[in-house]
Structure 1
């Protein structure tokens, strides 16, 4: 049943797109002519700027409707290509709008939509009407008898067997009619996407803005990481070393006075051992040595062995990745395991490493209670680390679980 519903739905949308292309093309052409004349005649007056901005605003709204109409066939509307038009004066706003290629591509589409929409709409309506008329011939052909019709239409239209024969022919041609309708709609939406989708200029501007935002987030994350390291050093190893120095000074004073300093020396030794362990934990928090020596899989295996959770690790143990990717992936898993045990009360996790021709995918799935906030501080820090490498991080955590942490890093083979 589902297999039949999908083609019917897509074919109906294709026919609706083609049919509505006729009035849309007429409206677009009429507006294009009117807007061009109005802007052209008033360009030499003080009304030229406001009229141009108003005409551009209406043109963009009509183009947005066209992107929405194309979504009937494409499955989703075409993305808008517009950039913010900023300026402290009217002239600068006009220049900002006029300098965007999307402004003129919208107008071009409204002009070419008339012939394209008219041809596609008429063809689509004729194809659908002829095939539907043939299939339904027994229901209507008897009302329009034509004894003078040429052969072979006369026996098909004037006899009951002939009318049912038209139904058979219509059903036989139905797949061809469906293919033609969907092909015409795809061709028309391909032309719409060529003019209405974001062009190279818009993509470069948006990518530049995204990279600037990502860079700022990375700088903030690095500053926060430096503050964390300084705090850990000050509150951990540094405090222990200061205490050790004081204990050794006390032991030296006792030795000078002939007292017993063995307990103080032993205490200092324990303090030094604890400070060394603290420094080792800090180093592992910055970049674990095993990650450099043996790679990501071995580092994650060591991380899983130290975790209180039952962790299953899947992936190629011999695969090596770029150092930056290995470091980011390691901390994604480390944070995910920590969150699974601390917040989700999970008992087990599955960590999967996979490499595609263009990316490295890290997936962590726990059996906890779910409900994680994707915008939380911890996950936001991980997202910044992943985005610094032009990667993506997504979190799926419905109430009741499971929580799935999915990170993807671009990495060409």
Structure 2
């Protein structure tokens, strides 16, 4: 939670967040003040020299030029080192208005303070804190002072020759009453202004002080995940082929031999009962093995394609399921398999949890992607945090390079939408 999100909540003015924002701004003043004073040592003479050149045309004197040059070089040389302490304090202070952790980068030596992008991002934040932040605070303080003047105008108008409020002069307390009312109405906006100013400063701190994502490392992680998925799919197909072509025919032959042996053994024989038990176990093992092969890659997906296999799932569902399929071009095997299991798992969740009376499956092959939608008219309230089914499904979709979107308000309906990349 952070002050930016708290600003959008109805109870913000009565929560602790405005006070936390005020504490954050108050503790910023000494830090920004010291930085601003240090920058003015060089900045003020530089501005004065530039104005003299522009207005009077006089060249900058040699001592002043030397002072400005040495001062600027000194500031540039010291900024990466000074920013270490400043940003360490700022990371700690950010916790006042932002509960999200902001890790501190490890110390990599003095040379790294001048050669790494992260160090110069800290320098940029330090400069911003000593230059832009004081100006923003002065503007906000001026607005606050003007509002206080409006509120206090009925009491000050009677004890002075005239009180100037914006564009008019107030001579009597009665004339000041409307302005006091306006100031009272604007006061709550200042309370929000405190939070907005703290949120803006905190967002800048997080943007400049957070560690940037390594794009090259992220691309390598994506490529390695794709390689792992491809290797997994290849191994999965090999296991399916070995089970289907090797173990399953042998088990079928064993069950057939046991069936023939039962015909040759009299029922009163001591071997009849163990033989019957062995025959039933062999048939049960055949069913289990068929289910295992079906779980690796359903045979209906190979024989009928994605649309046909999904219609077969719909026919086996315990509630009426309507299928709308617009998939004409062939799809990659990984995408087909992922889409099939999305529909299978979603319909299974509908049957187990949704208390729905009907469901609908939609398959659309759009340019560059396959969209799978499963909706129902059940009670809704599906939450990935309450079970591993939706989380596992989202992980499976992510492994294929897609994304899963869930809409399930309490009372329903529920919609599961999956978008899978599908290059032509």
Say whether the 8 Å CA contact 1:348–1:367 is kept in structure 2: no
Task: Determine whether 1:207 maps to 2:222.
Answer: no
Match of 1:305 in 2: 315
Query: Unmatched 5+ residue regions in structure 1?
Result: 42-50, 251-270
Structure 1 residue 390, shift from structure 2 partner: 2.7
1:61 to 80, 88, 91: 88
Say whether the 8 Å CA contact 2:321–2:359 is kept in structure 1: yes
After TM superposition, list the pairs within 5 Å mapping 1:65-84 onto structure 2: 65=92, 80=102
Structure 1 residue 159, shift from structure 2 partner: 1.5
Q: Secondary structure at the match of 2:419?
A: strand
Distance 2:335 2:209 in 1: 36
Match of 1:195 in 2: 208
Distance 1:81 1:228 in 2: 45
Match of 2:175 in 1: 162
Structure 1 residue 392, shift from structure 2 partner: 3.8
Distance 2:407 2:136 in 1: 43
**151 and 30 in structure 1: CA distance in 2 versus 1, 3 angstrom threshold:** closer
Greater alpha carbon shift after TM alignment, 298-307 vs 180-189? 180-189
Distance 2:414 2:211 in 1: 32
After TM superposition, list the pairs within 5 Å mapping 1:324-363 onto structure 2: 324-338=334-348, 350=359, 353=362, 360=371, 362-363=373-374
2:159 to 113, 126, 145: 145
**109 and 352 in structure 1: CA distance in 2 versus 1, 3 angstrom threshold:** farther
2:131 to 102, 115, 119: 115
Distance 1:28 1:354 in 2: 60
Structure 1 residue 127, shift from structure 2 partner: 0.9
Structure 1 residue 163, shift from structure 2 partner: 1.7
1:160-193: CA deviation from partner (whole Å, max 9, x where unpaired): 2112032255468779979988887787567556
Task: Determine whether 1:317 maps to 2:325.
Answer: yes
Distance 1:381 1:410 in 2: 16
Distance 1:95 1:409 in 2: 47
Say whether the 8 Å CA contact 2:236–2:296 is kept in structure 1: no
Task: Determine whether 1:25 maps to 2:32.
Answer: yes
Say whether the 8 Å CA contact 1:395–1:403 is kept in structure 2: no
**340 and 290 in structure 1: CA distance in 2 versus 1, 3 angstrom threshold:** same
**364 and 347 in structure 1: CA distance in 2 versus 1, 3 angstrom threshold:** closer
Distance 1:118 1:236 in 2: 77
**295 and 169 in structure 1: CA distance in 2 versus 1, 3 angstrom threshold:** same
Distance 1:368 1:168 in 2: 49
Match of 2:402 in 1: 391
Say whether the 8 Å CA contact 2:394–2:403 is kept in structure 1: yes
Structure 1 residue 329, shift from structure 2 partner: 2.2
Q: Please report the TM-score for the alignment, with normalisation by the length of structure 2.
A: 0.56
Distance 2:411 2:247 in 1: 36
Structure 1 residue 116, shift from structure 2 partner: 1.2
1:65-90: CA deviation from partner (whole Å, max 9, x where unpaired): 4655775xxxx86x85877x6xxxx9
Q: Secondary structure at the match of 2:325?
A: coil
Q: Secondary structure at the match of 1:147?
A: coil
Task: Determine whether 1:229 maps to 2:249.
Answer: no
Query: Unmatched 5+ residue regions in structure 2?
Result: 1-6, 42-72, 262-281
